[in-house]
Structure formats: C-alpha cells, structure tokens
Amino acid sequence: MEKFVVRGGRRLSGEVDVHGAKNSALPLLAATILCGSQSVLHNCPSLSDVDAACMILDYLGCGISREENSVVVDTSNLEHFEVPDTLMREMRSSIVFLGAIIARLGRCRLCFPGGCELGPRPIDLHLSALRQMGIDIREEHGYLDCSVSARGIQGTKIVLSFPSVGATENIMLAAVLAKGDTVIVNAAREPEIIDLAQYLNKCGARILGAGGGTIVIHGVRNLHGCEHTVIPDRIVTVTYLCMAAITGGEIIVNRCIPSHFDAVTPVLEQMGCRMNVYPDSIYLNASRRLRGVKTIRTLPYPGFPTDAQALIMAVSTVAEGTSVFVENIFESRYKHIGELARMGADIKVEGKVAIVDGVEKLYGADVEATDLRGGASLLIAGLGAEGITRVTNIGHIDRGYDGLEKTLREIGADIQREKEGLNGSCSS
C-alpha cells in the first residue's frame, strides 16, 4: 500500500502540461475493437484505468504496446467475446466494451463493472438501448450474456431519459456497424463524446451531430484503423487550477482546451482568482484570500461537472463566507466531506446539498481517498493546509492522474509517494 505525504503551506507557481483525458482514452481503446486492424492513440495517459483497459484488450486477443505516450492496438486477431470478472471489476467504465464487442463479434459475455462507488450508476439505459437495436441480453448471476440474431444489429431511434455518457458511447459503438440508421435523442454532449465520434469517423464511420443533443449514426459495413490524438483531460486541468488557488499561487496550465470547462472558470473568478484564457492554455493568479460562491449545481455537460464538485469544494473550505453545493448526478459523491472535516473544514450535508462555511485554515491530518476526485480534493486541501497530510488508498487517485506528484514538485509542492509499513509507519 502507498500513500501521499503532503507538507502544506507552500505557494505553487509555474507551468504544467495536461495529459490525455482518461474519460476519452477508455472508450477510444474499446472502439479499436471495431476496426479489425491497427490503431495508434497518441497522448494516451499512463493510468491504472488505462492499464486495465489494455489488459482487457490483451485478453480478448489484441496486440497492444505502448511507445511513450502512444498506445498501439492491433485488433485483427480478436478471438474472445468474454471479459473475465477480475478485469471487469477493475474500472466502472469497462461496460463500454459491451457495445464494441457485440458489434464486432455478435456475442459478448461480461459481468457488471467495478470502479468508484459513487452510488447507483445503473446500466439500465445501456441495456434498454441495445435491446432496442435487436441485441438479446440475458442477465444471470451477475453476468450479462449478449448475442445478435442472424438479422444483425438494427439501427433505430433511441430516446434517452437522461443524457448518460456511457449509454451514448455504447450506442455509438454498437451502431456504427449496424444495419440502417441509429438516432440518439437526448444524447450526452461531453467533449469525450465528440472525441470518440471523430476517431470513429476517421476509421470510416458516419456519425453526425456529436456534441449536440441528437446524434445520427449511419451504419457501415466495416471500419479500418487510424491514428488519433486523445483530447486533454479537462478535470485534470481544473485540479491544477484548484491546487494553485488554495495555495494563493500563480499557474499556467498548458496543452488544455479551456472551452471544455467553461462552467468552472467563472466559479474560480467569482472566488477571487484572476484568470486569463488562451486557445490552448489558461492562467490563474490567486494572490489573496478567496471568497465563497453562492450555489454550485452539478449538471450534465455543458453544466458544472460532477467531477469538479469535490475539487472546488476543497478550495471553498478556506474561502471567506459560505458556499453551497447541490449534487444532482451521483447520490454518494460526498464521501470526501468527512475526510475534509478531519482537516478542520466546516461542512454540513443534508441530502444532495452541502453547505461549506469557510475557515481561516485547514490542518494536516491522516485521511483516506474513497474515490478518484474525492481523493484529489484531499490533496488540494493538504497543499493548502498547515502541517502534514497523509492521504491513503491512493490507488483511486492513480486511476485519473499521470505523474501527479512529479508535476506538483516541479511547481513548488512538497509531496512524496511513500510505502506504508506493517506497523503503520512510512518508509520511502
């Protein structure tokens, strides 16, 4: 087991680069299955979730290798249609392999996925949509056994009751090789959906409208591999901005797309940060004590992202005044609040509402990451706290941040990754 040890109170200053988006790389890796030849994904981050996706591809019979920040996938010899339980449980988004495998092989068997426990994230929308496309899905003892009749996957109109990112991705992956046209109404609009569509179109798919509420997929007979560059990770960008903000720092975040987090930038400005936005970078200066924000409501894109809620909340714990958060996406996305309270934060929760009264300072403490973004919020708090913060269970954080401690040290943070001894002490 490893932990992060953070000595807080240091002002962060400098420039950082953003790596590729986890939430884009994972569906892109699944999409390579559809091509039957070699694809190269550039700017693909080195993360435990990406490693898990690569292990699934390897098990299915794909050739896979990494060359620095590029992953090469050859799916010409795909032979297995079943994903083992041990691999599915490594990450929640592994369900995206369902649409790709069933479209390529006409058969798929996998268990329900694992990942962060953020409350119910039902895959009912996925299954209902795929059934509308003529896919037979049987649920038995925690497994999904899926098959396609001789008629093949059929294009159809699918109206989503909620703009689910995962369901939109699975439908797109199943529909590109379907017979006829598929129309997704109330589709997810996230940048990651656009990135997936752009990759598939490079491979020969015909997808229109990605990024809007209605996506049209004209089925084609086959796809071919291509080279594609994964978009920058917008939540990693927000994380660095929050880390600089809580330390009163000054930072330039390069290799990002500021328009992807337009809902977050105004919040940081309201808190008192000075921001300059450029085409592929963003500047933040937080030289004075920040102010609380009235109300932040998480919403599907382009609204305020649920993945940024814990990050901004960590900053608000030391902002002057009261901040209110309303979590509308996941039921159990406040697990980090109890850990922030250990550091002196004043936060009250009632249902999906969290009220944060800013305190003068936070204090270092031993805390535990319970999910990816909650774990990142504890690092943000630790950087701004007085004393030493030890964050355990950092496997959650490694799912979404590539080389985080190295990058932070380069801009002035005092952070180390240490192994925990059997007696609870740390050894380097």
pLDDT tens-digit map of 85-124? 888 887 767 899 999 999 999 999 998 765 444 344 468 8
Q: Does residue 264 sit in helix, strand or coil?
A: coil
Mean pLDDT, each 10-residue run in order, the chain (428 residues): 96 98 98 97 96 96 96 96 88 88 96 53 86 94 90 97 96 98 98 98 98 98 98 98 98 98 98 98 94 96 98 98 95 92 97 97 97 97 98 96 98 95 42
DSSP assignment, residue 304?
B
What topology is assigned to 2-19+232-427 in CATH?
A: UDP-n-acetylglucosamine1-carboxyvinyl-transferase; Chain (3.65.10)
Pairing of strands 346-350, 274-278: unpaired
- CA dist 318 and 272 (Å) reads 13
Intrachain domains 2-19+232-427 and 22-229 with the same fold: yes
Phi and psi for 327 in degrees, rounded to 5? Answer: -95, 110
What are the structural domain ranges in the chain? 2-19+232-427, 22-229
User: By C-alpha distance, which of 347, 334, 394 is closest to 118?
Assistant: 334
- CA dist 208 and 78 (Å) reads 28
CATH class name, domain 22-229 = alpha beta
DSSP assignment, residue 11?
P
Length of the chain as a residue count: 428
Active-site residue list: 116
Phi and psi for 310 in degrees, rounded to 5? Answer: -65, -35
Tens of pLDDT, residues 337-396: 999 999 999 999 999 999 999 999 999 999 999 999 999 999 999 999 999 999 999 999
